[in-house]
Amino acid sequence: MRFFVAMVSHETNTFSPISTDRGQFEARGLHYGGELLEAYRDTGTCLGGMLDGAAAAGVTLVPSLAAAASPAGRVAKDFYADVRARLLADLRAAGPLDGVLLDLHGAMVVDGLDDGEGDLLRAVRATVGATPIAVTLDFHANVTAAMVESATLLHGYKTYPHVDMDARGREAALRLAEVAGGRRRPTVAFRQPPLLPPIAGQATTRGPMRRLYDLADAMERRAGVLTVSVFAGFPLADIRDAGLSIYVATDGDQALADALADELAAAAWALRREFLHTALPVPEAVARALALDGRPVVLADIADNTGGGAAGDTTTILRELLRVGARSATVACLWDPAAVRACVEAGVGATVSLSVGGRVDPSHGAPLAVSGRVRTLSDGRFVHRGPMCRGLEGRLGTTAVLDVNDVKVILISHRWQTLDPEMIRFVGIDPPGEKILVVKSSVHYRAAFEPIARAILEVDAPGLSSSNLGRFAFANVRRPIFPLDEL
Interface residues toward Zn ion, by CB under 5 A: 138-140
Decide whether 31 or 140 has the Cβ nearer to Zn ion: 140
Residue pair 213/288 in contact by the 8 Å Cβ criterion: no
Decide whether 237 or 402 has the Cβ nearer to Zn ion: 237
**DSSP state, 75?**
B
Decide whether 426 or 449 has the Cβ nearer to Zn ion: 449
Provide the angle, in degrees to the nearest 10, between the axes of the packed helices 46-56 and 165-180.
40
Amino acid at 340: V
**Number of residue whose CB is nearest Zn ion:** 140
**Nearest distance from residue 197's CB to Zn ion, in Å?**
13
Cα dihedral sign, 106-111-114-117:
negative
Nearest of 401, 398, 389, 301 to residue 350 by alpha carbon: 401
Where b means 16+ CB within 10 Å and e means fewer, 380-406 reads bebebebbbbbebebbbbbbbbbbbee
**DSSP state, 204?**
S
**Nearest distance from residue 225's CB to Zn ion, in Å?**
24
Say whether 87 sits in a helix, a strand or coil.
helix
Decide whether 62 or 165 has the Cβ nearer to Zn ion: 165
**Nearest distance from residue 163's CB to Zn ion, in Å?**
12
Distance CA(451)–CA(430), nearest Å, equals 15
Cα dihedral sign, 331-336-339-341:
positive
**DSSP state, 195?**
B
Decide whether 140 or 175 has the Cβ nearer to Zn ion: 140
**Nearest distance from residue 138's CB to Zn ion, in Å?**
4
Tell me the Ramachandran region of residue 144: left when phi exceeds 0, alpha when psi lies from -120 to 50, beta otherwise: beta
**Nearest distance from residue 368's CB to Zn ion, in Å?**
29
**Nearest distance from residue 162's CB to Zn ion, in Å?**
6
**Nearest distance from residue 143's CB to Zn ion, in Å?**
13
Decide whether 25 or 139 has the Cβ nearer to Zn ion: 139
Decide whether 10 or 408 has the Cβ nearer to Zn ion: 10
